[in-house]
Amino acid sequence: MAKVAKNEATEKVVNASSKATDPKGFFELPSYCDLSSATRVKEEILRAACDVDRLTVDGSGVERMDTSIIQLLVAARQSFAGENVDVVFKDPSEVMARSFSDLGLAAELDLWSADK
CA distance 85 to 3: 40
Q: Give the pLDDT score at 78.
A: 93
Q: Name residues whose C-beta falls within 8 Å of residue 34's C-beta, 6 or more positions apart in sequence.
A: 64, 65, 66, 68, 69
Using pLDDT thresholds of 50, 70 and 90, give the confidence band for residue 10: very low
- The CA–CA distances, whole Å, from 96 to 4, 18, 50 equal 24, 20, 25
The more confident residue out of 92 and 24 is: 92
3-state secondary structure of 20: coil
**Contact call for residues 66 and 99 (beta carbons, < 8 A):** yes
Strand partners of residue 89: 57, 113
pLDDT tens for residues 29-45? 999 999 999 999 999 99
CA distance 77 to 111: 12
Which residue ranges form the domains of the chain, and what is each CATH number? 2-111 (3.30.750.24)
pLDDT tens for residues 76-115? 999 999 999 999 999 999 999 999 999 999 999 998 887 7
Strand partners of residue 32: 64
